[in-house]
Amino acid sequence: MQTKEIAGKQVQVDEDGFLVNPNDWTREIAQALAAEQGIDVLTEAHWRVIEFMRADFAEKGAVPTIRRLSKVGGIETKELYELFPNGPAKKAARIAGLGKPQGCV
pLDDT in tens, 76-95: 999 999 999 998 999 999 99
Residue 102, domain member (yes or no):
no
Structural domain containing residue 59: 2-95
Let me know: does 56 contact 79? Beta carbons within 8 Å.
no
Cβ partners under 8 Å of residue 35, min gap 6? none
| Domain assignment present for 100 | no
pTM to 2 decimals?
Answer: 0.92
Active-site entry in 7, 70, 104, 105: 104
**Residues 6 or more apart from 55 whose CB is under 8 A from it?**
none
Domain contains 105: no
The per-residue pLDDT of the chain, averaged, comes to 93
What are residue 11's DSSP bridge partners? Answer: 4
For the chain, residues with pLDDT lower than 70 are: 103-105
Report pLDDT for 104.
55
Domain count, the chain: 1
In a domain, 64, yes or no: yes
Q: How many CB atoms lie within 10 A of CB 73?
A: 19
Domain-embedded: residue 101: no
The DSSP secondary structure of 22-88, one letter per residue, reads GGG--HHHHHHHHHHTT-----HHHHHHHHHHHHHHHHHSSPPPHHHHHHTT---HHHHHHHS-SSH
Is 84 tagged catalytic?
no
